[in-house]
């Protein structure tokens, strides 16, 4: 077989695969509504687009420093100081092709084959596969619906072994929308020091929080713990810039230069024009974030209320990000028959909903959590209403 064991061992990204399938159905003329993709439906703000146009006109079209332009690193340093109360030097920052590449480079830089990586679940699809790609071992820490999917430090400590190298925290969380409790995060920070464990804090949804939820960057808890943390963020979600592919990581210089080596031999610099635009995103006016957040908040409330009115579904009100993650176990227990087969898991159910109701969503199993579905509400209110109407009808 020509395919390497490493690649054979990883699964394709289901979020991307189902989004692509919905697009294909749309191209074939089917009236599909997509709750699949985790991306804002808004356009990138005008001031950011203008900056990119200027960069093109000025001929900013050459390779840049592989780890990103200094201007953008300085903007990131300022942003992390102002928003997150963390002090970094530009040598502790790397800019990559999306937060996804930052995560990939961090895991490859820190983990040796056989190292254990703690991963609270439900978790975003790419963490598990990136860990496996690095030949490290994902060790899942379940979080529960009954506890609003919040992580607690006791659960974390129980899973620590002499092989534990890293923990990945994602708050606000994709797919559950959970925002971790500040006190628990402080306790987890103590565990990092006690057991000498590194921590990736994926903060890509930090600006999208609702109600009373508060975001805390663990790296702001002091110099000692900061040495254990790689803070990851990007412009995709906060500035509706998913297609521009700019993410960044901040952490100890040794780790950042390791990541830089990988980047220098794989992709080189992230897109030069997008880097210029991202400077404007981070230092320019910030009011569009609040406009988007308010729209998401309204859609969130509507979606959660409608889902909870459907028989067999219960859904928590997410505190952050832009996903509803309803429990559909009662529907699966009913054992609905479809095409002569029983619908027995979230994959079958999402496939049934896509084929029969033409609504794309992601099965919980993609996030290591059977018995749930993920619906993105980063789409128009009109589509949300129509999509939920179709789901309700088909489940009747
Ligand atoms: N982390 C999480 C939790 C995400 O949901 C995403 C979504 N794509 C990413 C990282 C990667 O974002 P990007 O590569 O677009 O910066
Ligand atoms: N993060 C988004 C999602 O979870 C975008 C797709 C992806 O990169 O996984 O749907």
Instruction: Check whether 396 has a pLDDT greater than 90.
Output: no
pLDDT average, residue stretch 351-360: 95
Res 139: pLDDT: 98
Res 220: pLDDT: 97
Res 1: pLDDT: 79
Pick the atom of ligand 1 nearest to 103's CA: 10
Q: Which of 98, 140, 145, 148 is nearest to 123 (CA)?
A: 140
Per cent of the chain over pLDDT 90 is 96
Residues 288, 201, 112, 271, Cα dihedral to 10°: 20
Chain segment 184-223, per-residue pLDDT in tens: 999 999 999 999 999 999 999 999 999 999 999 999 999 9
- Contacts (Cβ under 8 Å, ≥6 apart) of 377: 35, 296, 299, 300, 302, 303, 322, 323, 324, 384
* pLDDT band at residue 181 using 50, 70 and 90 as cut-offs: very high
pLDDT average, residue stretch 228-250: 98
Please state, in angstroms and as integers, the Cα–Cα distance from residue 134 to each residue in 144, 154, 203, 378, following that order: 28, 27, 22, 32
Indicate which residue's Cα is closest to atom 9 of ligand 2: 15
Please state, in angstroms and as integers, the Cα–Cα distance from residue 242 to each residue in 177, 246, 304, following that order: 19, 8, 25
CA separation for the pair 48, 285 (Å, rounded): 10
- Going through 130-263 in order, the beta strands assigned E by DSSP cover 137-142, 164-170, 198-202, 229-234, 247-250
Chain segment 281-316, per-residue pLDDT in tens: 999 999 999 999 999 999 999 999 999 999 999 999
CA angle at residue 242 from 238 to 248, to 5 degrees?
70
If you measure from the C-alpha of residue 100 to the centroid of ligand 1, how many angstroms do you get, rounded to a whole number?
6
Q: What is the total residue count of the chain?
A: 396
Residue 37 vs residue 74, higher pLDDT: 74
Instruction: Check whether 245 has a pLDDT greater than 90.
Output: yes
Ligand 2: residues within 6 Å at CB? 13, 15-16, 37-39, 124-126, 174
Ligand 1: residues within 6 Å at CB? 38, 98-100, 124, 170, 174, 202, 204, 234, 236, 242, 247
Indicate which residue's Cα is closest to atom 3 of ligand 2: 38
Chain segment 78-137, per-residue pLDDT in tens: 999 999 999 999 999 999 999 999 999 999 999 999 999 999 999 999 999 999 999 999
Least distant ligand from the CA of 38: 2
- Per DSSP, the residues of 214-244 read ----GGGG-HHHHTTEEEEEESTTTTT-GGG
CA separation for the pair 306, 300 (Å, rounded): 10
If you measure from the C-alpha of residue 205 to the centroid of ligand 1, how many angstroms do you get, rounded to a whole number?
9
3-class state of residue 209 by DSSP: strand
3-class state of residue 342 by DSSP: strand
Residues 347, 352, 357, 361, Cα dihedral to 10°: 0
pLDDT average, residue stretch 255-280: 98
Least distant ligand from the CA of 127: 1
Least distant ligand from the CA of 367: 2
CA separation for the pair 96, 110 (Å, rounded): 17
Instruction: Check whether 340 has a pLDDT greater than 90.
Output: no
pLDDT, the chain, mean: 97
Same fold, 5-43+288-395 and 46-283: no
Which CATH number is associated with domain 5-43+288-395?
3.90.1150.10
Tokens linked to 218: 């663990």
Answer for the pair 240, 45: CB distance below 8 angstroms, yes or no: yes
If you measure from the C-alpha of residue 177 to the centroid of ligand 1, how many angstroms do you get, rounded to a whole number?
14
Return the domain boundaries, the chain: 5-43+288-395, 46-283
Name the residue of 12, 16, 364 to mutate for ligand 2: max ligand atoms within 8 A of Cβ: 16
DSSP collapsed to 3 states, 73-126: HHHHHHHHHHHHCCCCCHHHEEEECHHHHHHHHHHHHHCCCCCEEEEEECCCHH
Indicate which residue's Cα is closest to atom 4 of ligand 2: 38
Pick the atom of ligand 2 nearest to 124's CA: 4
Res 335: pLDDT: 85
* pLDDT band at residue 246 using 50, 70 and 90 as cut-offs: very high
Q: Which CATH number fits domain 46-283: 3.40.50.360, 3.40.640.10, 1.20.1050.10, 2.40.50.140?
A: 3.40.640.10
Res 259: pLDDT: 98
If you measure from the C-alpha of residue 56 to the centroid of ligand 2, how many angstroms do you get, rounded to a whole number?
28
Instruction: Check whether 355 has a pLDDT greater than 90.
Output: yes
CA separation for the pair 55, 42 (Å, rounded): 22
Residue 37 vs residue 124, higher pLDDT: 124
Residue 17 vs residue 274, higher pLDDT: 274
CA diameter of the chain? 62
């Amino acid at each position: 077989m020509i395919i390497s064991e490493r690649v054979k061992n990883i699964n394709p990204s289901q979020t991307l695969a189902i989004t692509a399938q919905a697009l294909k159905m749309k191209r074939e003329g089917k009236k599909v509504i997509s709750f699949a993709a985790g991306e804002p439906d808004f356009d990138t703000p005008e001031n950011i687009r203008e900056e990119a146009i200027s960069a093109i006109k000025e001929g900013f079209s050459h390779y840049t420093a592989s780890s990103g332009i200094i201007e953008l690193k300085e903007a990131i340093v300022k942003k992390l100081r102002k928003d997150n109360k963390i002090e970094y030097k530009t040598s502790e920052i790397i800019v990559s092709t999306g937060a996804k590449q930052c995560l990939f480079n961090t895991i490859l830089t820190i983990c040796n084959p056989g190292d254990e990586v703690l991963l609270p679940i439900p978790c975003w699809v790419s963490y598990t596969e990136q860990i496996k790609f690095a030949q490290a071992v994902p060790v899942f820490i379940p979080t529960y619906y009954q506890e609003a999917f919040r992580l607690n430090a006791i659960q974390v400590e129980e899973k620590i072994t002499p092989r534990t190298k890293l923990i990945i925290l994602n708050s606000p969380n994709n797919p559950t929308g959970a925002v971790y409790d500040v006190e628990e995060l402080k306790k987890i920070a103590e565990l990092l020091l006690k057991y000498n464990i590194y921590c990736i804090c994926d903060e890509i949804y930090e600006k999208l929080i609702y109600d009373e939820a508060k975001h805390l960057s663990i790296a702001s808890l002091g110099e000692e713990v900061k040495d254990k943390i790689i803070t990851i963020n990007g412009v995709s979600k906060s500035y509706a810039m998913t297609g521009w592919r700019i993410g960044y990581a901040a952490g100890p210089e040794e780790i950042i230069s390791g990541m830089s080596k990988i980047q220098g031999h794989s992709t080189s610099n992230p897109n030069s024009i997008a880097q210029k635009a991202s400077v404007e995103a981070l230092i320019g006016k910030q009011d569009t974030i609040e406009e988007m957040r308010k729209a998401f908040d309204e859609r969130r409330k509507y979606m959660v209320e409608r889902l909870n009115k459907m028989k067999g579904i219960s859904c928590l009100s997410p505190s952050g990000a832009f996903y509803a993650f309803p429990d559909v176990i009662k529907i699966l227990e009913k054992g609905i028959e479809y095409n002569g087969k029983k619908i027995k898991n979230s994959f079958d159910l999402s496939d049934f909903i896509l084929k029969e109701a033409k609504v794309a969503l992601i099965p919980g199993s993609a996030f290591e959590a059977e018995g749930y579905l993920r619906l993105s509400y980063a789409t128009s209110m009109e589509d949300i209403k129509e999509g939920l109407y179709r789901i309700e009808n088909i489940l009747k």
